[in-house]
Structure 1
Amino acid sequence: MKTILIFNLDAPKTRSGLFLSALLGGLLPWLLLGCATPRGEPRPLRETTVWVVRHAEKTSAEAKDPPLSEQGQVRAEDLARRLKGEGVEVFLVSPTLRTQATAEPLARASGKELLSYAAKDYAGLRERILKEFRGKTVLVVGHSNTVLEILEALGAPRPLPALADEDYDYLFRVSLPEAGAATVKTVQYGAAHRQ
């Protein structure tokens, strides 16, 4: 049902009539234009993509905060090449040298800074991603004892029972739709540990 409004703009030219004519003459086209546009076009749903990876190989298990080994530095470059075309906009790393060094080549190439997160605050990490970075592509670099827990906190099913100490080549892509369940895809990158 359409409503049609009719105004007589040729009414007597009193002071209030002139004001009303000017007001309606200026606003009427805009009002009609607003009525003519399609209503309630649904806005596109924004999917958030979170890449989750364990840091690359480290130098020594005895050191409190070991840096990457030469092999780990190569893997960090492999990660940068693998994710180069994925549009990563946000880089979240735990406060350790090895996670920072793993993300650094891609962050540098993207002109982005590394942001820190508390390594075992899984709920806080999820909330931060959904609140601050919804609709973006995020890289989270964690540890062998946090990566699978991060996936679960994001609502994705655990794709493996555990990460072994030598598992450095797994990369997980979590899709977080605005509506619906999270999904995870497991890919490998760099030199394979399993032949």
Structure 2
Amino acid sequence: MATAEDIVITVGGNTTGNGSTTFVPQRVAAAPGDVVVFNFTNGNHTATQSTFSNPCIPAHETNVTINGFNSDFRNTQPGTSGSILTVPINEQNANDTFWFFDYNTCGEGGVGVINDNESSNETLAGFSRNAIRLNGTNSSNTTSTSYLTRPTTPPPPSTSPHKSAANRVFTVGAVGAIPLFIASLFV
């Protein structure tokens, strides 16, 4: 019997201006029972689930059936305790692919994936190209580029009927849902 493990993705290693270094590693494989841990270590970043076709837009904004994970902005400094977001992988979602991005670096390739299908046409390289093509600084699509210019501080509390990121539920298929335990926005 395999034992479950924590798979850590470091967020914030982007000190070179290269968005592809925001998530290290950018690609992970996780088995049922594993927990993917986004460890925010440097800068003001997010880990936000999206879809392959809309790489820099939260998944629930393009597909209402996906109640994806979203860390919101986590502003951390080197040498501080940091902040984490955990994403559990269970039997119901073990075969799902989870595309994700950082609001601040998505248009520069600040994207990643959990459990991609290597034989699919939807690859990490393609997802990164789409993020840059649709949302990069050379993009002529002003609708998509608006996601690049999100504020670097968290927005004020919303009066919207939608749940906050801290109260969102991570959907695990038709079977049910489990709450995401999200660490404090600020350390």
Scaled to the shorter chain, the TM-score interval is under 0.3
The structure where helix makes up a greater share of residues is 1
TM-score (norm 1): 0.24
Question: Is the radius of gyration larger for structure 1 or structure 2?
Answer: 1
TM-score (norm 2): 0.25
